[in-house]
Amino acid sequence: MIGLVDCNNFYVSCERVFDPKLEGRPVGVLSNNDGCIIARSNEIKALGVEMGTPAFQLPPDIRRQCALLSSNYTLYGDMSRRVTNTLADFTPDVEIYSIDESFLGFDGFAHDKLEEHCQRMRHVVRRNTGIPVSVGLSTSRTLAKVANKLAKKSAAYEGVCMLEPDAANTRHILERTPVEDLWGVARRTGNRLADMGIHSAWELRQADPKRMRRQFSVVMERTVWELRGVDCIETDDIAKPKQNIMTSRSFGRLTGYKSELREAVRVHASRGAEKLRRQGSVARAIMVFLQTNRHRLDLAQYNPSLVVQLPRPTDDSRIIVNAAQRALEEMYLSGYAFMKAGVMMMDLADKATLQMDLLDTPQSDADRERNERLMAIMDKINREHGRDTVSVGKAHKNSAWKLRCQHRTPRYTTRWDELPVVKLM
């Protein structure tokens, strides 16, 4: 059996762990720069607030009822780690899928005791971390995803739902599940399936796997088998390495100072290099861009971008930052107020199978090994002691390009100076 554990309303649940006053209240977590609502409690959903709603568009009567908080990703990431560590006490096979989801393997566990085991796991996760979770069980990842939605939405399952692939209730559930709701089936793919007369998950299960492969891809063929209870999709089939990596953010306030733009570009280039190393890729080129606010018709507009070829395919932060700074120098013009900057890693290749080009700048084995060790040590320090403990250059604390986060709660679990304070009455 395979289990999918999903943290319920994860961002909101993290906030409620440290502020019990939020329990039962409509709570929304805002995107970068406190723009749109990206996470919602059940209470705010009941008020009709949709995902992605700009905060300023909330009607005043609803706004007064809601607690809107800035995103606190440092806290959410640490709470996710704590949940995963607790799950590992219940099975050695834990595969992290996202910040709030993990697939669990239960090979060798007694089938008739598995739901009871998962109920106990839910209890311990809630006790240890304060985070409520739901568990979906089946013989394939796709069916476990379907089961998890049921466990979350229907109180009758008490947080744990098991779907046997050939059971009558499984057929009934799949007949009522739109094909677009399945794991890995995008809306455009759903439209193509609808044109073929396939609207429900059950109809897709009954389809010819070979035809699905010819019409779509091997992943769609595997989805058909998964709906029949055969475990054949790996998470890598759904989440393939990115072909381009973009790192960008809107600024907290407009700025035209080159020094502040240089900081922003340096930070984005460093983040992009980290992401390259995380997925085992190297970049052959980068693109740097700046944007003014197109909605401010009273301001001059200038939206430059520049692609820079790197001396060799690399994931070295220093080389990438240096190239990004050169691009900024070339395209910067004074007299404009910019609202956004970004850096894209382009023409990516798998580092393990990379073939060097004759035109690439040569590098000795000793230099390459030394640079790789340096980047590995820098990543390790930042993982263990917090992001930007070691960085390429330092950013000023109150730079204009930094995000607005006026409603961010303390990062309770990762900052000594933001630990909760207990007062004895």
How far apart CA 132 and CA 141 sit, in angstroms, is 21
Please write the tens of the pLDDT for every residue from 198-233.
999 999 999 999 999 999 988 899 999 999 999 987
Query: Which pLDDT score is estimated for 205?
Result: 94
The answer, as to whether pTM is greater than 0.75, is no
pLDDT of residue 347: 78
pLDDT score recorded for residue 165: 93
Ranges of residues in the chain with a pLDDT under 70 are 32-33, 234-243, 354-363, 394-406
Contact 30, 69 (CB under 8 A): yes
pLDDT 10s digits, 70-117: 988 888 888 998 999 999 999 988 888 888 999 999 988 999 999 999
Q: Supply the pLDDT for residue 211.
A: 93
The per-residue pLDDT for 24 is: 93
pLDDT digits (tens, 9 = 90+) for 28-50: 999 866 778 989 999 999 999 99
pLDDT per residue over 53-63, tens digit each? 888 899 999 99
Locate 246 and state its tokens: 């973009």
